[in-house]
Amino acid sequence: MSTAAAVVVYGATGHTGRFIVAELRRRGIATVISGRDAARLELLAAEWGDVVVRPATVDDAGSLDRALAGAAAVINCAGPFAVTGGPVVEAALRAGIPYVDVAAEIEANVSMFADHAEAAGKADVPVVPAMAFYGGLGDLLVTAAMGEWTAADEAHVAYGLSSWHPTAGTRAAGAVSHERRGGRRVRFADGALQYHEDKASEQEWPFPEPLGRRTVIAEFSMADVVTVPSHLAVPEVRTHMAVEAARDLAGEDTPEPEPVDALGRSDQMFVVDVLVRAGDVERRATARGQDIYAVTAPLAAEAVERILAGRIRTTGVASAGAMFDAADFLRALSPHLSVELPH
């Protein structure tokens, strides 16, 4: 197989990585699978049959360069992104190819904007961090809800997850983030990220039917507190999580996701409900779907396809809402996602 127009998936053997490879193949996109475990990569190649294997490790820049040689783009889905993000995006910039990742780690996303914006801008290369369920989807929904607004007073992203069975990768990334912030919580308020030691509080959130009013952990901050304010003038960005999902995530004995359908998705259902307010006017946008890990695959694949087709609004480091036409992007995700946007 030619790799001239191939997309490299770094971390292809992971839970989300496998979904992404399957989605690229479904779209007819030539794929190179990469990561640190050559044996596992070969096993997957034997299963898929039409992918190229190029092992690489983030502590060996030469191996990353070889993995990306001649490729069209790279999707990094290997966490913790605090470890992998820098080396893989630097390799992408050396190769002059677009970089997309699926990082939900707040600090890793902050670092991507802070440390690589100048180089990516000079290289005129698109770099899209957090192109996933957390960070990317919320940012697209907030951007679409705002429409022609150039500013808003506040944005809320409420996550109504029926359950959350975290993968090993999610747990590892969470541990790194917890350590980096010294156990403190984080919020985006008064136009800046703030670290604090306040205890988590609960509130009621009016999710649309059939979910209805549910209790959420207020200010359960996810990557949206980085992506949304990176390009929108919103001084207060708050994310909230259904208590059932938060308890699952906190449980040490909560098992990993189990597939229940031919696509490998779990039975987890989600509703992401966005509210933006400017003065006395409120707008909402909502997305519904199944399995937060599985839906990350069409998000990342659609991003790469649009980048390679030139359907972008900027280059350099930019979030999903800044890089793409948010409403059009969200509608293109059908049937993976059911979306309701303001008229």
The model's pLDDT over 45-55, given as tens digits with 9 standing for 90+, comes to 999 989 999 99
Give me the mean pLDDT over the 321-329 stretch: 98
Residue 327, number of CB atoms within 10 A of its CB: 18
Instruction: Specify if 169 maps to a domain.
Output: yes
Same domain assignment for residues 178 and 30: no
Tokens 């409120």 map to which residue?
Answer: 282
CA 330 centroid distance within chain: 14
The reported pTM is 0.96
Same domain assignment for residues 117 and 259: no
Same domain assignment for residues 208 and 266: yes
Instruction: Specify if 311 maps to a domain.
Output: yes
Instruction: Specify if 66 maps to a domain.
Output: yes
Among 117-121, 195-199, 267-271, 313-317, name the one with the lowest average pLDDT.
Answer: 195-199
Instruction: Specify if 200 maps to a domain.
Output: yes
Same domain assignment for residues 271 and 137: yes
d(CA 164, CA 179): 22
Same domain assignment for residues 44 and 169: no
CA 159 to each of CA 56, 221, 259: distance values in angstroms, whole numbers, following the listed order: 35, 11, 21
User: What's the helix, strand, coil split of the chain in %, to 5?
Assistant: 40, 25, 35
Q: What are the pLDDT digits (tens) for 265-278?
A: 999 999 999 999 99
Instruction: Specify if 145 maps to a domain.
Output: yes
pLDDT at 157 over 60: yes
Considering only CA atoms, which of 122, 55, 65, 121 is closest in space to residue 90? 65
Tokens found for residue 143: 């951007």
Tokens found for residue 64: 């990353």
Instruction: Specify if 1 maps to a domain.
Output: no
Residue 338, number of CB atoms within 10 A of its CB: 13
Give the pLDDT of residue 2: 44
Same domain assignment for residues 175 and 119: no
Give me the mean pLDDT over the 231-251 stretch: 96
Give the pLDDT of residue 151: 96
Give the pLDDT of residue 210: 76
d(CA 100, CA 16): 14
Quote the domain boundaries for residue 254.
133-292+334-340
* Residue 283: partners with Cβ closer than 8 Å, 6 or more residues away: 145, 146, 147, 275, 276, 277, 342
Same domain assignment for residues 142 and 262: yes
Same domain assignment for residues 127 and 138: no
- As a whole-number percent, the residues of the chain with pLDDT over 90 amount to 89
Same domain assignment for residues 278 and 308: no
Same domain assignment for residues 251 and 323: no
Give me the mean pLDDT over the 96-107 stretch: 97
In sequence order, the β-bridge partners of residue 281 are: 278
Query: Do 139 and 321 contact (CB within 8 A), yes or no?
Result: yes
User: What is the chain's mean pLDDT, rounded?
Assistant: 95
Give me the mean pLDDT over the 159-186 stretch: 89
Instruction: Specify if 163 maps to a domain.
Output: yes
Query: Do 321 and 231 contact (CB within 8 A), yes or no?
Result: yes
Give the pLDDT of residue 1: 40
Question: Residue 316's domain is classified under what CATH number?
Answer: 3.40.50.720
- Count of domains observed in the chain: 2
Instruction: Specify if 2 maps to a domain.
Output: no
Same domain assignment for residues 228 and 152: yes
In sequence order, the β-bridge partners of residue 76 are: 10, 101
Q: Which residue has the higher pLDDT, 200 or 63?
A: 63
Same domain assignment for residues 144 and 265: yes
d(CA 155, CA 136): 15
